[in-house]
Structure formats: structure tokens, C-alpha cells
Amino acid sequence: MIPRPDVFFLPAVGGEQRLCLFHAPAGTPRSKLLYLHPFAEEMNKSRRMAALACRALAEAGHAVLQIDLRGCGDSSADFGDSGWADWQADVRLGLEALDARVPGDAPLWLWSLRAGGLLAAADWGRTVNHLFWQPMTSGKLALQQFLRLKLAAEMASGASKGLMDQLKTELAAGRPVEIAGYRLGAALASGLEAAKLTPAGQAGRVEWLELSTREDATLTPVTEQAVKSWQDAGWTVRTQIVQGPGFWSTSEIELAPALITATVEALS
């Protein structure tokens, strides 16, 4: 039986801390994974799925580390005071902590969900494989979608006219904006906007998993183009669409068991 995860706070710069959960397998780990959560409220909606997947991976022999990025979950600081560079530094912290927990040459994976993939797609100075769950290929699009939450909230009052331009003007001036209960700072917005899901660093493996409620679903042309860019850069990419809801955005907490099964099989 797999024990409960080890919950601990990882020291960070300035006396801050990052909440981490380490899921240890029984025996020698087949691989080690660092999980990078999605953006804002999508993180909260995805916690149950992430927890179930971590347990399933640990039961299959993989070591998994979850980390709450700066200003997220139970980690130090406020979301509005966090920047993209802070989150990049947190990934490095997580990788160091994972190395300490799992020494040796077990294959390393960055497992990311949605906008977490934009953070994962960087050169980390070492061989890293990628497990993408429904990755977003454009940070600019991710930011626009997040800002549209404000527009949707204001439409009923008729105050949405010109609001998108106002939000962008505020961010460009270095001032934070309030979106769906989150204070979004300029440093985080600009970093997200500039991020792209493009290959970087030494080529390895990519397991690209997407969800759909349609049985005949296929990858979008944008996704196909992104996959090709990784393949052209020398990465071995496998794509799969599995049945399930977009649990990161549903009104109620939902699960996609087929995604967990496909994930374990992909890494096996």
C-alpha cells in the first residue's frame, strides 16, 4: 500500500516557503515527476484530479513531487505579488528537492496541466521529459482568456465596453488588475503573455494527452502544428485523446479517470 504523501514546506528566497507534497513509490522509482499546476482558479478545480493521479503514479512505481508556486495554494506571498520569474525559480527549487528525495538516474519528467506547460517548456540545463495534460500552446491566448473572465462578469451591467483595452493599459503601466477574485500583477501577466509551448533544451520524450467528450475528437490544427515543432526539434512525441470532461473549468469538481489510466500507461 502506498503511504500518504509527505507534506513539507520548501525554503525559498527571502524567508518564504513553498508547500510541497512528495508521493513515494514502493521500491526503487521507475521515474520521477515534478507536477506544475495550472493558472489561477484552474489549479483549485484540478486539485482532486492531480491528487488521484499522483497516487496512481506512485502505485505504478513513480516518484511524484507537487509544488504550490509562489502566491498559489498554501505557499508564501500573494498571487498578485508573484511574477513569471518567481515561478521559474520555483520550478528549479522543485527539481532540486526532487533530486534530493530521489537520487540516481531515474528518468525525469515535468508533468504539467494547461498553462503549467508554458512554464515547463524551458531549458532547465538537463535532460527533461514532458508529460503534458491539455497544454496551452500560447501564453498570449492564455492571458486573453483569463482577462475575458472580467469581461463576462461586467457584461450584465453593460460596463464591458472597452474593458479589455483598459485592462491591458493598466498592466502595461505596471499596475495590477482584479480578475475573478485574483489580483494579477504586471510581472506575471507579461511573463505569461510572452510564454510559448516551444521545445527547448536537450530533446527527450513528450507524452501529450488531451481530453474530449467526443468519441471522434481529433487534435486541432494549432495543436498539430505545435506537436510538429517538437518533433522537428528531435523530440519523440506521442499524442492521445481520451474521454473525459475539462475538469479544470467545470462548475463542479469533476474527474476524468481515463486520463489517469492513460497517464500511467504512457509512462510505463
User: How far, rounded to the nearest angstrom, does the alpha carbon of residue 224 sit from its chain's CA centroid?
Assistant: 20
Question: How would residue 158 be classed by pLDDT, with cut points 50, 70 and 90?
Answer: low
Which tens digits make up the pLDDT trace of 168-220?
A: 999 999 999 999 999 999 999 999 999 999 999 999 999 999 999 998 999 99
Question: How would residue 163 be classed by pLDDT, with cut points 50, 70 and 90?
Answer: confident
Question: How would residue 2 be classed by pLDDT, with cut points 50, 70 and 90?
Answer: low
Contacts of residue 88, Cβ cutoff 8 Å, sequence gap at least 6? 119, 122
Q: Is 258 helix (H, G, I), strand (E, B) or coil?
A: helix
Range of weakest confidence among 90-99, 148-157, 165-174: 148-157
At 29, the amino acid letter reads P
Q: What pLDDT shows up at residue 1?
A: 60
* Entry pTM: 0.95
Contacts of residue 138, Cβ cutoff 8 Å, sequence gap at least 6? 196, 197
Mean of the pLDDT values across residues 249-264? 95
Give the integer Cα–Cα distance in Å for 188 and 200.
21
Q: Which domains does the chain have, with CATH numbers?
A: 6-137+196-267 (3.40.50.1820), 138-195 (no CATH)
Which tens digits make up the pLDDT trace of 26-85?
A: 899 999 999 999 999 999 999 999 999 999 999 999 999 999 999 999 999 999 999 999
Q: What pLDDT shows up at residue 159?
A: 61
More confident residue, 246 or 157: 246
Q: How far is CA 242 from CA 6, 45, 110, 146, 223, in A?
A: 30, 19, 20, 25, 15
Alpha helices in 60-185 (DSSP H): 84-101, 116-120, 139-155, 163-172
Mean pLDDT across the chain: 94
Q: Is 40 helix (H, G, I), strand (E, B) or coil?
A: coil
> With pLDDT > 90 as the criterion, what percentage of the chain qualifies?
89
Q: What pLDDT shows up at residue 164?
A: 86
User: How far, rounded to the nearest angstrom, does the alpha carbon of residue 13 sit from its chain's CA centroid?
Assistant: 22
User: How far, rounded to the nearest angstrom, does the alpha carbon of residue 256 sit from its chain's CA centroid?
Assistant: 17
Give the integer Cα–Cα distance in Å for 259 and 243.
7
Q: What pLDDT shows up at residue 152?
A: 76
Give the integer Cα–Cα distance in Å for 11 and 231.
37
